């Protein structure tokens, strides 16, 4: 049986190293990208360390997060032979294109961006210009590689739309230059519920479940999931319960059906459900957690992977930026 030919389209995605990756990161961006790496001839997976400067203020922590994300990617199955893995900050082309794009970006477009509106609504203390122009840098991340496909969570769809808007405006102003990207959103996991039972899983809400944290930390995060106040003997609605929803994301169809039956029958408490989820969670990520331990024993390999990835990415990025600079008159 012949294998499916790889698509000639180009994929780009990245993860911000502003903390330790959690289940939402994995299901919303990392796993979809890993699954797609066998389908595309060209796939770029980057560590968005320039973006994380909007929130991370400790240099030592930032370095740890950056290295940690790279280890996590590799441990979870990213193959550097199939995917170009690199650090965003290793390529100054990202920042340079971001500035060029910002010069054609309407102020109102940024003012309507969800992340900025959310910061304003929360009356964030001293919001920065970097947070305001965040979508422009993300547009540069995408457009530099002439990406057709951008795997994102549902909450990031607007950023891809902004990238399309800026690409379209640049093309109309200076001539055809950029490919218009399309978001790739796994609808069945478009929004991962957080442990607070109210918001999506996000570092900003502090309602996450780590992937590579210590076992006791992970169990504590899962045991802290908010539930309703139904007694053990009462039947429970699995479709409204965060524990059950999270279990469904990592369990088999048979396991899910068995847990549903226990919820509906009663005599099964949320504490038992959380223990079941914790055991399944650790089982699900057991292989990746062990692989990460092995990777940390040879950090020279990690540095080599990132350096090689930066070289490969630079070939594409510099070519696009040269074209852009010619179009806008920066190259004489």
Q: What is the pLDDT of residues 111-120, one digit of tens each?
A: 999 888 888 8
Q: What is the mean pLDDT of residues 4-28?
A: 84
H helices of the chain, in order, are 23-25, 31-36, 59-75, 93-102, 107-111, 114-121, 129-132, 134-143, 157-174, 215-223, 242-248, 253-265, 270-284, 286-295, 299-328
User: Are 156 and 36 in the same domain?
Assistant: yes
User: Are 302 and 181 in the same domain?
Assistant: yes
Q: How many CB atoms lie within 10 A of CB 272?
A: 14
Residue 96 lies in a domain: yes
Whole-number Å distance between alpha carbons of 210 and 222: 10
- Any idea what DSSP says for residue 189? G
Q: How confident is the model at residue 122 (pLDDT cuts 50, 70, 90)?
A: confident
User: Are 227 and 303 in the same domain?
Assistant: no
User: Are 150 and 272 in the same domain?
Assistant: no
Residue 28 lies in a domain: yes
In CATH, what number is assigned to the domain containing residue 72?
A: 3.40.50.620
| Per-residue pLDDT, 9 | 87
**Structural contact between residues 37 and 82, judged by C-beta atoms closer than 8 angstroms:** yes
Residue 234 lies in a domain: yes
User: Are 163 and 231 in the same domain?
Assistant: no
User: Are 95 and 240 in the same domain?
Assistant: no
User: Are 112 and 255 in the same domain?
Assistant: no
Q: What is the mean pLDDT of residues 122-133?
A: 87
pTM assigned to the model: 0.84
Q: Of 98, 78, 24, whose CA–CA distance to 306 is shortest?
A: 78
Residue 1 in this model has a pLDDT that exceeds 50: no
User: Are 248 and 314 in the same domain?
Assistant: no
Residue 190 in this model has a pLDDT that exceeds 60: no
Residue 44 lies in a domain: yes
User: Are 188 and 258 in the same domain?
Assistant: no
Residue 272 in this model has a pLDDT that exceeds 90: yes
Whole-number Å distance between alpha carbons of 163 and 144: 11
Residue 293 lies in a domain: no
Start-to-end CA distance of the chain, whole Å, equals: 54
Residue 1 lies in a domain: no
User: Are 92 and 230 in the same domain?
Assistant: no
Residue 2 lies in a domain: no
Residue 314 in this model has a pLDDT that exceeds 90: yes
Phi–psi pair at 224, nearest 5 degrees: -90, 5
**Structural contact between residues 192 and 23, judged by C-beta atoms closer than 8 angstroms:** yes
Q: How confident is the model at residue 36 (pLDDT cuts 50, 70, 90)?
A: confident
Give percent of the chain with pLDDT exceeding 70: 97
Full domain range(s) for residue 157: 7-192+298-328
User: Are 253 and 323 in the same domain?
Assistant: no
User: Are 248 and 137 in the same domain?
Assistant: no
In CATH, what number is assigned to the domain containing residue 226?
A: 1.10.240.10
Number of domains in the chain: 2
Residue 134 lies in a domain: yes
Residue-by-residue DSSP string for 194-212 = PTTSSSBS-GGGT---BSS
Least confident range from 182-191, 275-284, 290-299: namely: 182-191
């Amino acid at each position: 049986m012949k294998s499916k030919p790889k698509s000639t389209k180009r994929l780009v995605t990245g993860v911000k190293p502003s903390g330790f990756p959690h289940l939402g990161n994995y299901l919303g961006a990392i796993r979809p990208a890993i699954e797609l790496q066998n389908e595309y001839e060209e796939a770029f997976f980057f560590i968005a360390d320039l973006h994380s400067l909007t929130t991370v203020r400790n240099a030592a922590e930032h370095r740890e997060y950056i290295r940690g994300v790279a280890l996590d990617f590799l441990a979870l199955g990213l193959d550097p032979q199939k995917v170009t893995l690199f650090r965003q900050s290793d390529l100054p082309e990202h920042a340079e294109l971001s500035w060029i794009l910002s010069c054609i970006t309407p102020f109102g477009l940024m003012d309507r961006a969800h992340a900025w509106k959310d910061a304003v609504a929360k009356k964030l203390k001293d919001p920065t210009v970097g947070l305001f122009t965040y979508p422009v840098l993300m547009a540069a991340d995408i457009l530099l590689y002439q990406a057709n496909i951008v795997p994102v969570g549902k909450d990031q769809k607007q950023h891809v739309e902004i990238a399309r808007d800026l690409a379209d405006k640049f093309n109309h102003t200076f001539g055809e230059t950029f490919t218009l990207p399309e978001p790739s959103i796994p609808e069945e996991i478009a929004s991962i519920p957080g442990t607070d039972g109210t918001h999506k899983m996000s570092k900003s809400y502090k309602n996450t479940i780590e992937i590579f944290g210590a076992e006791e930390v992970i169990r504590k995060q899962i045991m802290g999931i908010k539930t309703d106040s139904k007694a053990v003997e009462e039947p429970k609605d699995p479709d409204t319960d965060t524990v059950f929803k999270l279990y469904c994301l990592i369990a088999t169809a048979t396991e899910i059906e068995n847990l549903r039956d226990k919820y509906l029958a009663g005599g099964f408490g949320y504490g038992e459900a959380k223990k079941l989820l914790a055991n399944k969670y650790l089982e699900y990520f057991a292989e990746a957690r062990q692989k990460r331990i092995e990777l940390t024993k040879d950090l020279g390999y990690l540095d080599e992977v990132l350096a090689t990835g930066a070289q490969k990415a630079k070939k594409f990025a510099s070519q696009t930026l040269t074209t852009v600079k010619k179009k806008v008159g920066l190259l004489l």
